[in-house]
């Protein structure tokens, strides 16, 4: 006796058995699908169905999914019996079910078309190097090194600026007063690019020269900052060989977007925005 388990949803959506009623005594065999490994109310389950099911089960990585042919066949028989029971109950004629099946069919068609389109792409090394040059040209290569002191109020920040202007050491004040996790390191934030920080903070650092601190408190969503820009440098771009796979993905996304734009341009479309729900 075999325990009853259902195939995981992701695999079930991708797998279908032959759409026979299960009550026809004269169902012809589809020799293109291989040899039957079981018959369920005169409906064949083919060895190709079993192979597909095993492949999907293993790819799903779901604990408890049968991995042996005999257990997998039991699951296919269970699925076929349930399918036949659903048809007998008229589930396939339910309007909501019809819409869901159509959406699943649409998603499968879309995914297959996109996969086929991407499989047909073939980028040359020149394509990849040209994209590499474009990406490098657009890179923000400036790296910054800064310290900061984070406090709760503008008044506290102003007082600390006055003490800095009087000659006290920035790391010492950061250790004593900053509420940020960097306080133990004297407020040191290490090296970073501007886009790694919130805009108000980054803009304040960019406005400073190396070795200078802000003479006005800087407010961000985290509180009030006093910032010291310690150093800056130009960051070298990664070598071409290290980012070749990412470049292929970038070119694939661009090609897919161009394909989508072409489809939209060639299509006859009408949009009734006035019918959209607010």
The predicted model scores a pTM of 0.62
> Which token pair is 172?
């010492």
Report the C-alpha gap between 148 and 171 in whole angstroms. 9
- How buried is 77 (Cβ within 10 angstroms: 0-12 exposed, 13-18 middle, 19+ buried)? middle
Query: For every one of its 278 residues, what pLDDT tens digit does the chain have, with 9 covering 90 and above?
Result: 343 444 444 444 445 555 554 454 556 788 888 999 999 999 999 999 999 998 888 777 655 555 789 999 999 999 999 999 999 999 999 999 999 999 999 999 999 999 999 999 999 999 999 999 999 999 888 999 999 999 999 999 999 999 999 999 999 999 999 999 999 999 999 999 999 999 999 999 999 999 999 999 999 999 999 999 999 999 889 999 999 999 999 999 999 999 999 999 999 999 998 888 87
CATH no. for 141-234: 3.10.50.40
| Measured CA distances, 233 to 137, 174, 191, 207, 209 (Å) | 17, 24, 9, 15, 12
Cα–Cα distance, 5 to 268 (Å, whole number):
47
* Angle separating helix axes 95-119 and 244-266, nearest 10 degrees: 120
Structural domain boundaries in the chain? 9-88, 141-234
């Amino acid at each position: 006796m075999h325990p009853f388990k259902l195939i995981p949803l992701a695999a079930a959506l991708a797998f279908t058995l032959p759409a026979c009623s299960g009550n026809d005594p004269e169902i012809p065999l589809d020799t293109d699908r291989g040899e039957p490994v079981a018959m369920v109310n005169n409906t064949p389950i083919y060895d190709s169905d079993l192979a597909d099911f095993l492949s999907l089960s293993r790819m799903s990585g779901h604990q408890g999914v049968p991995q042996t042919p005999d257990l997998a066949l039991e699951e296919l028989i269970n699925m076929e019996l349930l399918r036949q029971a659903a048809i007998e109950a008229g589930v396939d004629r339910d309007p909501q079910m019809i819409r869901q099946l159509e959406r699943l069919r649409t998603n499968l068609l879309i995914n297959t078309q996109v996969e086929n389109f991407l499989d047909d792409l073939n980028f040359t090394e020149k394509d990849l190097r040209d994209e590499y040059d474009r990406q490098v040209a657009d890179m923000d290569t400036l790296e910054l090194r800064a310290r900061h002191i984070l406090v709760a109020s503008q008044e506290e920040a102003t007082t600390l600026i006055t003490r800095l202007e009087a000659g006290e050491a920035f790391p010492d004040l950061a250790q004593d007063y900053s509420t940020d996790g960097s306080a133990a390191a004297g407020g040191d934030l290490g090296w970073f690019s501007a886009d790694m920080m919130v805009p108000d903070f980054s803009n304040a650092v960019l406005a400073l020269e190396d070795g200078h601190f802000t003479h006005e408190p800087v407010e961000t969503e985290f509180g009030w900052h006093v910032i010291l820009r310690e150093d800056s440098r130009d960051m070298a771009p990664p070598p071409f060989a290290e980012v070749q796979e990412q470049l292929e993905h970038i070119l694939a996304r661009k090609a897919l977007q161009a394909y989508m734009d072409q489809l939209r341009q060639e299509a006859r479309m009408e949009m009734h925005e006035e019918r959209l729900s607010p």
